[in-house]
Every structure is written in structure tokens, then in C-alpha cells.
Structure 1
Amino acid sequence: MDKHQLAQKAAQEVDVDEVVRLTQALVRIESYYPGPGEQPVVDFLEPYLRERGFKTTVQAVAPGRPNLIADLGEGPGGLILEGHTDVVTHGPLERWTHPPYEARIVEGRIYGRGACDMKGGLAAAICAAVAVQKVLGAPRKTLRLCIPCDEEGLMTGIKAFIRAGYAEGFAGALICEPEENQVCLWQKGAMRVWVRFQGRMAHGAMPYAGANPIPSASRFVVALRELQAALQAESQHEHLGLPWITPTVVEAGAGEGQFNVIPDQVKVGLDIRTNPGQDHRALLARLGQAMEESLEAGVSATLEVFEDRPATETPRDAVLVQAVEQGLRLLQMPVRYGGVPGATDGTFLSAWAGLPIVTIGPGGRTIPHQADEFVEISELLSAARLYAAVSVQMLLG
């Protein structure tokens, strides 16, 4: 058989019942943080993969927050299948029609926290890797399951994975996030920024005795609308849409009940999303200018970037992209292109490790983080078959 026939065979070898069972098993393990964390998922998956012939490594990232790495084969030039183990909190339970950790199946959907983002995609990747093993045995190139913690936070899991050298020697990575099984070659960049306005406390009845930072902070937040409009006029991406500057946190006040005290500080948090080609340093300079222009007498301000994630773009002619497109055609699935509106672990696999990435996986992109999160079983099975077919092509290419 040639590699395309073997790719189709691997897709056929995917155990569809096990994809569903494994997704349900993973959803039933609570792994939000702060809370139980990701250790229980790793405790479940490490022996599961080892019993199926994978070489497993548990990488400690933080207390109770490990990465799991599982390999098939030992040679260079292979493929990474990536899926994180953490989920966001379930929030108020009364908002859920289907309990968040029961993984109920209703009308062809699996409901539960993480079903879509992204325990469904992780289960699909694992079952695909098992199917590849059935067809290829121990391949000459390595198929690596990268199963990190903390994607929903500061992505410390994937950063630790890369720093330890686990991304070296691979030809690319499939990021198994919920993107409706679209071929996503573009991801937005992101910056997380604190802007702190410093004034001087005073009695509310005598504001002239102090320096109130709230009006300066307010002027700054209003000015962001003008800066955002300028950025949007400069960049509109076919698959990613518009860039955004979103204030998400405003903190001020001298303490609970202190309505008669002018506070000495206001803290503004910004979630900034950019398109490929937008220079983060230039944007920060414009933010700094807007900050300085907002200041009133006696008030100063500082700007701190505590997370900087570049936008990514994978060339259409990359070997991995060609393998994904071929896999879709082999399985008679539509080849649809899309963009990732947020950052993923793939951001750092691309920007830090220099790997070509394609983000593609089961689940609607607007479903994550909501009550009654779900994944369509049909999408789940299609993703697992696709991952198996792409893996074979990359391992034999």
C-alpha cells in the first residue's frame, strides 16, 4: 500500500466507540484551575497510553499541574498532536441544563465542561494515535502526543514543553482545538496589559488636596476607542476579522465603604487582539502616547505588558498544510479555511519552536466557556479519522 492507502486504512481503524467513551471519561474528570487542576487527567491518561504501547513522560510544570508526553516511534521529522487538559470553571450550576461533569449524550451531542474545549479534541487525537499504531506499528518518525496543562491561563504548560526541548526535531504540529474542523492557518496575536494610574489620596470633600487618578484613567479608556478604530482601519483579515483593544478590568477605590476618600491608584487591564503583520512594539508606543495624553495634573502612569503572544500564519505550501488538505480529500471531507480568533498553545509552538502549525478540531468555536458546552459526535469522529490520516502521511512523507 502507498501512504495514501495507509492513511485511509488508519482512518478506518479509529475505534469510534472508544472516541466517545474516552471523551466522556475525560469530561467526567474535573480539571479546572484554581481547583482540582490537571493532575487527575494525567493520572488517568498516563497508564491508558502506556498500556497501549506508548512511551510516556510526565513533566512537572507546577504543583499539581503536569504535562503528559506520549510517543509512538523514535525518529526525527515526525508530527505533534497537541491538546490541553485544563478547562475553565463551570460557573453557576443552575445555568446548566445538563450537569457539567456527567458527559451526557443527547441527540448526537456530548454535553459537559470541556467537551468542546478541548477534551473532545484530545480524545480524538489519542484515538487517532492508537489507530496509527495499529497500521504502522512503531514508525521511523515520532508521533508525539503533547498533552499540556494551563492553556486557559498563561500557557505555562506549553512554554515548559518547548523550553525542555520536547518540540525539537518535528516537522509540524496539529493543534486539536475546536474550530469546526476548518483548516486554520492564521491565529490572532494577544497582549495582556496593565496600565496603572497613580494619584494622591485626599478627603472627598476636599479634592483639591489630592490628585484623583480616576478622571485620567477614564480619559484613557475613552481614548482607546479612537485608537482601536485606527487599528481596525489599518487591518482587516479575511479569516480573523478586526483587531480589538478591550478594557476588561478597572480597579479603583480606597477600600470597602470609603466613598469619601479619593483613591491613590486606578488599575486598568487590557485584552488586546491583533492580526498578522501588526507590530506589537509600535502598538505599545501608541498606547503609551494615549496614556500620557490622558494624564491630569499630579497624576502619573505606567504600562506593563505581562503576556505577549504574536499572531501566527502558516504558509499554504507547508508540508503539514498539504497533508491536512490531502487527508480531508481522502476522507471526502470539505476543505474549508478559517482563522483562530484567540491564541492557542500553537502560538508558542509556532513563535518559539518555529514549527508549522495547523489548528483544526471538532466543536463550534463559539461554544467554549459557556454553560451547556457540547461537542457533536459526528464532528468528533471526523476529526479523529482526519488526525489518523494526516499522521500517517507525515510519518511516511
Structure 2
Amino acid sequence: MKKARSEIIAQLQKQLKTNRHILGVSTGSGLTAKYAEAGGADFILALSSGYFRQKGVSSLAAYLPFSNSNDVVMAFGMKELLPKSIQIPIIFGLFATDPHINLRNYIQWIKKSGFDGINNYPTIGLIDGEFGEALKTEGIVFEREVEAIRIGSEIGLFTVAFVFNQAQAIQMVEAGADVICVHLGLTTGGVLGAKQIKSLQTAKKLATDIFNVCHTLKPSVIKMIYGGPVNKPVDVQFMYDGTDINGYIGGSVFERIPAEYMISSVTQSFKTTSDIKYDALVQKIISGMSTQADYIDFIRKYITAHYQEEISLNELSDIMNLSRSFLSTLFKKEMGISFKDYLIHFRLNRAIEILQEKELPLTLVAQMVGYSEYAPFSKIFKKKIGVSPRAYLHNIKTK
């Protein structure tokens, strides 16, 4: 171990105070880990799904009998992660329900090998239906993962617990988990991404409901999210707004999706021209719109850049040369929330950030988030937040 559990927790709490949020990166290679650390990641998850992603296979391969998950993680972790000069914590993705290991002995071995913590992955929480029921009859259950987190906590390992519902979150908090991470399903996006996903609004409600329970039991527990529809910075901001979510863990978004797009596009450019302009190529990839998801992504980026100005769906439909009704329906379908409510939600959360960080006249705050007059801003603020901007500001000052 490079750092004691108490040191890791103290460092993460320091990051939360400084940067407000923390970031974990799931990886299957030393290359990704190296540059994730350079980019500011706070810890690394060594997961077998990451290993398979590097082989060009879906993350689901971690659940199939291609290889032993624990052996895979131990092998690439020992060869590619631990020998490197990686200073941030490295967390071992433990397949706790493996019937061929003595759980306590294996976790002790993980610690002796130099890993800083454990995470319950692959997790039975992703398996339901008849197959899930069949596994339960064989004693392959989520409770075994809870026991792993309990043992890890007892012997001083940093523990990151994936959960899928409130009941599992309660079990993991009581087991001593340092991080409760709501797993929102396999990440969408790219060639190998999952197709069936929750809307962002549904994902946000699920995470909020689970974290409310966690906060009641243990207010200090670190609350993070993983996977599902959250695969862009603007998605993460949407999840953070109005919640006490402390951070985000990503795998495919840092490892698979960038590689899929960039390798394919750079290869094509070498095929067609001898003059490679990387900046222009990257911009083309970012701004190119070829799918319905791209349309929604553009709208959200536009709001992020122009929320201080007058914005309407009519204006956006003109810019994108699409019908307003089509965009409205598509936005609601993809996001689980209407365009109007999303814009209000975004503006009010920016206003809250300003109120928390600066002492400014409320009329100016209203203008800074796109409301030319204070009265409509105050009205919508009270309706959505529950108190007026003035009362909210007073509550901040008296805390």
C-alpha cells in the first residue's frame, strides 16, 4: 500500500473542499492510468472490464467465462499499475462471489500485493431475471460483496462500493464503505457502448434517493456515480446540480470512447491526406452531428455557453435546421425533462453557485443567469427551490 486508508480519505476530503468534486477512473492498462493521473484523477479502479475494453471487447466480457476476473486484475495490476510511479490510490476490482477463493485470505493478499483498496466489481447487482435468480440459489449473492467491503474496511483498505438501490446502499454503509457509488448501468456511447439506458433525469432521481438514505446513516460517506447515461462533462454537471453528489467514476468515457473515435478518425485522415491537422480533426469530431444524441448534446452545450442570454427552442431549431416540435419531443425523450425545465434547472443552479461564493446584489445575480428582470427570477427561484433568493442568501449567511 502506498497510503493508509485514513490518508486517502483525508486527501479526498481536501479535494472536495478545494474542487468540490472528485474523479475516479476505471482502467485496464498502465497507459490509461498514467495519463488519468496526469489529468487530475483522484484514484484508479483496476477492473477486468477495463482489460477487456483494451482488447476491443464489450465490458460485459468481465461476466463471461473468457478468463478469471480476479486473475486478470491481479496480473495487469501487478505488471502495469503497481510498478509505475502512480501516486494516487489504486483500487482492486474484486469479484467477491468467486467460489474458488477464501474471501478474507484473498483480500489480505490484495493488501500485501500493494493495492490501496477494493471495489466490488464485477458485481452481481448488474444481473437480474431468471439468471440472477439461479445464481442466488447457488449462494452467489450481493451479500458476499458486502462481506468483502466489510473485511476490506476491517483490515484498513480503502473501499469503494457499487450499489444499485437503497437496500444495498444501507448494507454497504453499515459494512464500512468509504465511497458509495451508484452504478447506473453500462456506459452508453461509442461502438461498444450499452444501448438500453436510463434518461439522465431518471438516473439523477435514483442517485438522489439512494444518497438521501446514505446521508441519514453516515453523512461523511463519499457519494459518487458511475456509468449509464453519464458520459460527458455536461452530463456530470447535470447530475451535480442541486444534489450532494461528491464525484464521478468513469471507465469507457476515458478509455474506450476516446480511443474508438480518435483512432478511427486519425487512421481515415492518414488514408485520405498527407496534411494532418489534429486540432481541426478533434473539433470536427466534437462538433459533428450525425445522431439524435448529437442534437441533444449540442443543445446542452449551447445552453452552457449562452445561459446568460435569451435562449429559446425556436432559436435552436433555426440554428440546427430542424423543426421545433421534433427537437422538443426528442429532448424530453433523451433527457427525461423538458427543454424549458432543463434551462430553468441549469440557470438556477448557476445562481445558487454565485450566491454561495460571492456577495452580489440579487438583481445582478438574476441578470448573470439570464433573467433581465428580478421579479420573474425571484418567482421561479422560490417555486423551484422552496424559498426566495433573499431568504436563501440569508440562510447561507446564518449557517
Question: TM bucket by the smaller chain?
Answer: under 0.3
Please state which structure has a larger fraction of its residues in strand.
1
- TM-score norm. by structure 1 comes to 0.26
Superposition TM-score, scaled by structure 2 size: 0.25
- Write 1 or 2 for the structure with the bigger share of helix: 2
